[in-house]
Amino acid sequence: MSAHEDFSRQAEAKGSSDRTFGVVFAVFFALLGLAPLRTHHSIRWWALAVSLVFLALAVLRPAWLHPFNRLWTQLGLLLGRVVSPIVMGLLFFLVVTPVGFLLRLLGKDPLRLAPDPGASTYWIERRPPGPPPETMANQF
């Protein structure tokens, strides 16, 4: 029996360009360095220095950032493989399951899945009826 999703495949994700990667990290570290100014604390000079290094590499030698860009992309793929099933499981067990229990407690069957031994048919009449049958002849 196979799983729904094939986790053995190698995902070839197209990451951002090396220059874009460098600029994004330069902006991130610049914001990190200047963030203490909001609370009247001193600037984080080390973060501004790292920001300048990333900016200089992005402008002058973006190819030097390629290994870091590739590593960052792989980390993102790994996090996606780990976090997505956890989030989906939490959503199922914290949202879908309680709603199902609540509907069952209230005796509701919104999909009409419960068998009705007294029913002669399960056909649902449409009011008003659908389009005339001759319009279904040549659909494509």
pLDDT in tens, 19-34: 999 999 999 999 999 9
Asked if 65 contacts 23 with a C-beta cutoff of 8 angstroms, the reply is no
pTM: 0.62
Number of Cβ atoms within 10 Å of the Cβ of 94: 9
In the DSSP assignment, the letter for residue 9 is: S
pLDDT-derived band of residue 9, with 50, 70 and 90 as boundaries? low
- Mean pLDDT to the nearest integer, 70-93: 95
Neighbours of 44 (CB within 10 A): 17
pLDDT confidence band for 49 (50 / 70 / 90): very high
| Helix count and strand count (H, E) for the chain | 4, 0
> Cis peptide before 128, with omega less than 30 degrees from 0?
yes
| Comparison of pLDDT for 137 and 45, the residue scoring more | 45
pLDDT at 11 over 60: no
- Tell me: the pLDDT tens digits for 85-132? 999 999 999 999 999 999 999 999 999 888 989 989 988 888 888 888
